[in-house]
Amino acid sequence: MSTAREQPIFSTRAHVFQIDPATKRNWIPAGKHALTVSYFYDATRNVYRIISIGGAKAIINSTVTPNMTFTKTSQKFGQWADSRANTVYGLGFASEQHLTQVPPSPLVSANGPGEEKLFRSQSADAPGPTERERLKKMLSEGSVGEVQWEAEFFALQDSNNKLAGALREANAAAAQWRQQLEAQRAEAERLRQRVAELEAQAASEVTPTSEKEGLGQGQSLEQLEALVQTKDQEIQTLKSQTGGPREAPEAAEREETQQKVQDLETRNAELEHQLRAMERSLEEARAERERARAEVGRAAQLLDVRLFELSELREGLARLAEAAP
């Protein structure tokens, strides 16, 4: 938008507003976020220009004239009328310090001969205004206050939306952890049952079958020795069946299963710890969301109060205008 002869001398960030052409009272914001406002100087023509670009569109393209007046209507808001553009521009700053830099020191010179300042500032030391002027000023300040409350309300809404998104993500993560924990618990229970079955099976196989045989009074010594040898063979057979190769794989399987159970219990403990951490994070997110909702509610209430006060000011101004001769 600037020509090659113009040189940038100052830039700042501010929320840009234009007066509603229909009502000439309400402010229309140029966007939800602050824009860059730049000041250019054309040394060839000795002309200053204020430019602000929003996307590919020039929001402000105001050539400063000697009769322009920059009015500070609040600690963070100022406005001026551009007769060529047939509108009134408003700038809302993040702090009063940013506003005191407008216009910057390089601009405190004239656009054209015979002038001493770029903008004529309205001082609080000026003579006392009339009742009508006082009401007009209050009305203007009320409109600016309404815009500022709307901007804060939008910021709180954005914060609330971000918190709601974080809360949804935390809920989804907690649900996933719960599903994993339930699956691990089911697997641990299944392995415990398997261990119990293997232990019961081993106990039944290890128990030897005992037989009681009485010795008759007429048995001979040879018969007794043969019976002892037979019993010794049966004992060796039972030992080979119960304590042999068959028992070793089952014992190894039991040990492996028990190790798996221990590993699963350790994993379950870790998952429960992570779940508790997620639940604490979820509670914190919920509490933060509730605080944000309370802030939004308070901002909405204050905005309603400001709008009510503005309505009363407008009615007072209308009554004063009707009573005026």
User: What does the pLDDT read at residue 87?
Assistant: 93
| Mean pLDDT of the region 292-305 | 82
% of the chain residues with pLDDT over 90: 15
Check whether 217 has a pLDDT greater than 60. no
Digit-coded pLDDT (tens) for 120-139: 433 333 344 565 565 555 55
Pairing mode, strands 87-92 and 27-29: unpaired
59-81 pLDDT tens trace: 999 999 888 888 998 888 999 99
- Answer whether 79's CB lies under 8 Å from 71's CB: yes
HSE (side-chain half, CA atoms, 13 Å) at 150: 18
Which residue carries 């809404």 as its tokens? 157
CB atoms within 10 A of CB 260: 15
Per-residue pLDDT at 270 exceeds 90: no
3-state SS of 79-110 is EEEECCCCEEEEEECCCHHHHHCCCCHHHCCC
pLDDT at 190 over 80: yes
Helix axes 131-206, 221-242, angle to 10 degrees: 160
- pLDDT given for residue 144 in this prediction: 53
